[in-house]
Amino acid sequence: MTPILTVLICLGLSLGWRTCVQAGTLPKPTLWAEPDSVITQGSPVTLRCQGTLETQEYRLYREEKTAPWITRIPQELVKKGQFPIPSTTWEHAGRYRCIYGSHTAGWSERSDPLELVVTGAYRKPTLSALPSPVVASGGNVTLQCDSRVAFDGFILCKEGEDEHPQCLISQPRTRGSSRAVFSVGPVSPSRRWSYRCYGYDSRSPYVWSLPSDLLELLVPGVSKKPSLSVQPGPVVAPGEKLTLQCGSDAGYNRFALYKEWGRDFLQRPGRQPQAGLSQANFPLGPVSRSYGGQYRCSGAHNLSSEWSAPSDPLDILISGQIRARPFLSVQPGSTVASGENVTLLCQSQGWMHTFLLTKEGAADPPLRLKSKRRSHKYQAEFPMSPVTSAHAGTYRCYGSLSSNPYLLTHPSDPLELVVSGLSLDLRTHVQAGILPKPTLWAEPDRVITQGSPVTLRCQGNLEAREYRLYRERKSASWITLIRPELVKKGQFPIPSITWEHAGRYRCQYYSHSWWSELSDPLELVVTGAYSKPTLSALPSPVVTSGGNVTLQCDSRVAFDGFILCKEGEDEQPQRLNSHFHVHGWSWAVFSVGPMSPSRRWRYRCYSYESRSPYVWSLPSDLLELLVPAETLSPSQNQTDSKTGAYSKPTLSALPSPLVASGGNVTLQCDSQVAFGGFILCKEGEEEHPRRLNCQSHARGRSQAVFSVGPVSPSRRWSYRCYSYDSRSPYVWSLPSDLLELLVPGVSKKPSLSVQPGPVVAPVENLTLQCGSDAGYDRFALYKEGERDFLQCPGWQPQAGLSQANFPLGPVRVSHGGQYTCYGAHNLSSEWSAPSDPLDILIAGQHPQDYTVENLIRMGVAGLVLVVLGILLFEAQHSQRSPQDAAGR
């Protein structure tokens, strides 16, 4: 036996896994891979072996097959237990173990095995959920991984969690394809269920295919369900397009749309058409017969894995999928008086299971009735009694079969139902148009934000006994729901306006057995349907007196037209068709002028689609034009040379920007310059700016104090202020910095902690951490008594949790105090309840006793006085001595 072999045996090493020698006196090490044990071909990875502190050497082995790449690792890395692979290939895949050793204790036991997997060797398989990716809470679901390649097995991996992958031997299919079926569950809405699968060959079990596309399961929870609607309507012909809109007032950041028995669902981020509402649009089309079915949607917050309860179902119906075309007729006739009984009859020669009746422009789902056989025909009768003006319009009917109720026949020919000759009763028709026309207006305005109240008022002569309101081109069923006592007064209230209320209205009144002429039209506009456009002034918002300016309204969405409105005046809005950019943008250019400094020039613009000209987007941000007068500022050095406006004032909240719900707060706007007045503007809302004359002047400064409240957590309270010279009241300064008030609500409070601890020495650093499991997207930190608070976006350290870090330091004495934090969702203005308070204490800052120092100072001062007294005495004595000598 050679000396080298004798030494190896004494040390307990083996020449291979089958030549085992004396080893195992040390505990086994830990072996892991960074960044992961499943690596894409070509990516770097490092295998790390960790032993005890006394480790002097490491060894890495691959089971069943040697790994020559290990011998090429630099020894200085091997001694640290590091085995890097700069670019992984299939040759690196396998099952690895490691050991470590020291001169005193010998070699350790082997580590647990590490399976290093290299992906990307084959084409990706397909992963699907059967029967659907939408799974009820507590239920199970079958996931099928299949491929056109004859794999020996498949692996299912759950994303974002350290669950062990499931492995199954494949079930061969015809023509060389393969598949495996995995069972998952029970599922719950509190976790995220996202999966990928891989295929592999049994000869190389650690060499996998490319991953399948990500499959996410949707497990509806119990939070507030959203609403689902469709534009232009639920019945659509092949090749046409439609948009499903999922919306909620629960502040969801994302939405999912799914079809019953569909293999997948769509996700879209939410947008905020107006405060408190969020929605997502799902455009579908050009549609085919496969689009027909029942749809639902759910919402979720960004930093939460839980989806809401599903919306009510919405049926999408595809016409023209059955060759038959039914016939629609009306009894007693197509022109009837208000109050009469009418029946619409839909008939077909061939068998139909169900007939559907639609009204052009109506948002309600079609009426469905089962067919009945009469006189060798199949038919359904749709009664309408008694008819009102709301029933007037164009009708069509369709047929469907029981085998697929979402596929319809071709539509019948249109039938126009005319409700004419408004009657006092069923037998007395009257003549219209003898009395003068009434006046129709809207309160508070005819341009109304979605969800706001509005009342349409019709005013006739003093003898008016009854009023009627009509919408042109499309009936308005909401009118029939108004209480009769209000209708008789000419009042038509809408408690919460929606896009269905928009349109062009007229009214008339009844007096002395006659009906009046129709009023002039009133265009009722509902805003908030789309995201806001951008309004800008070209080349600048500063315009010389008498000059013109170009205002450009543009959007990243392809709208058909834009509207420009001047704020605070009853000018007719300007309407222009859009220009389109190749990337889908749209814009319109308006010319405004000539300008004068004696008026206010403030504008907003809106966008709209031509098919709904009275449904507008959110308004753009307010654009105010500055028209300098001859004397612009109180003194030349008070102006800003770039804009011609004054330097910005300072806005602060007294005593604090933290205000309890229902409370009031004082906002102080002040400037280093003596201005004549100040203006306070609330951001994001249509509140009229508040003006106050300057209330105090001191050393050239000026200020004004505004009272705000009562405040509530359901709205956002953000303000800016401006200053102006009383000689030019429409020429304002630059705006102050934004001041936001924090009004705590009642939603779940977050927790507040500190690292490294609540007691800290001066100059050290600390971090306050605000976190919650309520899925908040942003957090605020407030110190008691401060004039401001800090805001920071949240991040997600793990599923279901969100947090924000607020670093403070180097710490000073002023950092000491009591802190609280708050959380909020992005699409909601409401802040949570405050966290429990946290005290930050600054060490080494005790009051000092200066008694000893003061006594020393007083003693020194006394000693100085004594010395000065002695010097004065000696000086006087020396003067007297020569005088005495001379006298003698």
User: Domains in the chain, start-ordered, CATH in brackets?
Assistant: 3-119 (2.60.40.10), 126-217 (2.60.40.10), 227-317 (2.60.40.10), 323-420 (2.60.40.10), 432-527 (2.60.40.10), 534-625 (2.60.40.10), 643-741 (2.60.40.10), 751-842 (2.60.40.10)
Q: Per DSSP, what are the bridge partners of residue 514?
A: 511
CA angle 693, 698, 704 (to 5 degrees): 30
* 264 backbone φψ class: left, alpha, beta (φ>0; ψ -120 to 50): beta
Closest to 522 measured CA to CA, from 437, 454, 440, 447 = 440
Q: How far apart are CA 804 and CA 782, in angstroms?
A: 13
Q: Percent of the chain, pLDDT > 70?
A: 86
Q: Which residues pair with 722 in a beta bridge?
A: 679
790 class by beta-carbon count within 10 Å (0-12 exposed, 13-18 middle, 19+ buried): middle
Residue closest to 546 by CA, chosen among 600, 591, 592, 595 = 595
pLDDT value of residue 185: 83
Answer whether the bond into residue 131 is a cis peptide, omega within 30°.
yes
Q: Chain-wide mean pLDDT for the chain?
A: 82
Beta bridge partners of 772: 802
How far apart are the C-alpha atoms of 394 and 869, rounded to whole Å? 119
Q: Please report the beta strands in 596-661, taking only residues with DSSP state E, as ranges in sequence order.
A: 601-609, 612-616, 623-625, 650-654
CB 255 within 8 A of CB 512: no
For residue range 316-352, list pLDDT tens digits in order: 999 999 988 999 999 888 888 877 889 999 999 889 9
Residues comprising the chain, all counted: 888
Residue 219 three-state SS: coil
Instruction: Give percent above pLDDT 90 in the chain.
Output: 28
Query: What pLDDT was estimated at residue 425?
Result: 37
Element counts in the chain: helices (H) and strands (E): 4, 70
Per the CB < 8 A criterion, the answer to whether 301 and 827 are in contact is no
DSSP element (H, E) containing 869: helix 851-887
**Residues 256/227, Cβ–Cβ less than 8 Å:** no
pLDDT at 161: 67
DSSP code per residue over 668-720: EEEESS--SEEEEEETTS-PPPEEEE--EEETTEEEEEEEE----TTS-EEEE
Alpha-carbon distance of 667 to 709, in angstroms, equals 11
Helix (H) or strand (E) holding 32: strand 30-34
Low-confidence ranges of the chain (pLDDT < 70): 1-25, 161-164, 168, 170-175, 274-275, 363, 420-434, 570, 580-584, 628-645, 684-688, 695-700, 730, 845-854, 879-888
- β-pairing verdict for 491-494 and 277-284: unpaired
d(CA 625, CA 622): 10
Q: What is the full DSSP assignment across 776-793?
A: -SEEEEEETT-S--EEEE
Residue written as token pair 């006594």 = 855
Number of other CB atoms surrounding residue 786 within 10 Å:
15
Q: Which helix (H) or strand (E) holds 171?
A: strand 171-172
Residue 162 backbone dihedrals phi, psi, to 5 degrees: -90, 35
Residue 787 neighbours by CB under 8 Å, 6+ apart: 652, 653, 656, 657
Number of Cβ within a 10 Å radius of residue 135: 22
Tokens coding 136: 């009820």
What's residue 433's pLDDT?
A: 42
